[in-house]
Copies of this chain bind each other. A is one copy, B any other.
């Protein structure tokens, strides 16, 4: 009789636990969506296997930079969470970039690209770093000349853009890279939880998720990318010091020239955030706990208790996903007509 009662008790607890988890999941689904089970379809760029393969080659090809040193993968390294683990990237001529390199993983789900959203999509973004003097320091003409000099690349462009008379173009270079980047998504325990596997998060992570919603983090960090979907002032309640929020970088104001957009940035997408230190557009904060503390004060105006921060960090860990398996590409080899690399730094 006693044993039966005890067993019933366990049963009741288990059911209660499940109910709580279900409620938490229902609440979470008000704010978040799991990764979709199929590839996204970016506008004006039909995704095909040929385009994905070409884009992968381009993504890993250091000859897309003037010096031959940097590929897309240099600053968005798929071996290390899709970024470069530096405050700001080192580029052409050992120059430092102005902002922390964001992860390429799941970037397709962001409302727009770059910290200030100045590129409307991944194909627009792909044209940026390759031309930036402090990054890859190349020109569209030189990229196209490089590609045209290698017959294998010309064949791959023909295969990826079969309807086009002149497939090797800078636009198509960017479209192929976008096609590859669309595949770079990382299903995580949090997706499993949202999809109905209530054991995918442990109790600490569930408590963290609850706090993430209750404390208001979710106001900016929501949607499929847990951020990345809209723009907000950094220092909504209390402006951080100039070490964290350098005064010279006014964020989205440079894009919109609207006074309200001073120090406004795209809310950071939080998938794989545990892998992508250092944090913020300034890249000066190395610890995730510290980053949560700073956010709590600057955006919510509260100093969260240590235990709550731990729980939120545990929840953020559940956003670390499974990396896509990447077979390293074998790239076409140069020919006599391939433009030669140059490390020369041209003053702008």
Contact = CB atoms under 8 A, between A and B. Distances in A.
Interface string A252-268: 00000000000000000
Given A68-B85, A79-B329, A90-B69, A277 B343 contact: no
A277 B80 CA distance: 30
B77 A343 contact: no
**Which residue among A277, A330, A340, A343 has the maximum number of chain B CB atoms within 10 Å of its CB?**
A330
A95 to B, nearest CB: 9
Given A68-B84, A85-B63, A336-B287, A330 B79 contact: yes
A37 interface: no
Interface stretch (A113-121, A124-132, A319-327): A319-327
A328 B327 contact: yes
B333 A274 contact: yes
A256 to B, nearest CB: 33
Contacts of A274: 333
Question: Size band of the A side of the interface?
Answer: 35 or more
Nearest to A79: B331
A310 interface: no
Given A79-B60, A86-B68, A327 B325 contact: yes
A326 B323 contact: no
A94 interface: yes
A217 interface: no
Given A67-B90, A86-B341, A286-B336, A328 B331 contact: no
B330 A327 contact: no
Contacts of A78: 328
Nearest to A81: B333
Given A69-B90, A274-B333, 12 more contacts: A60-B79, A61-B79, A63-B80, A67-B90, A68-B84, A68-B85, A85-B341, A93-B94, A96-B343, A323-B330, A326-B327, A326-B328
23 contacts: A61-B79, A62-B77, A63-B80, A67-B90, A68-B84, A68-B85, A68-B86, A69-B74, A79-B330, A79-B331, A81-B333, A85-B334, A85-B341, A86-B341, A94-B94, A94-B343, A275-B333, A277-B333, A277-B334, A286-B336, A286-B340, A326-B327, A327-B328
Those 4 A-B pairs whose CB atoms lie nearest each other, nearest first: A94-B94, A326-B328, A275-B333, A79-B331
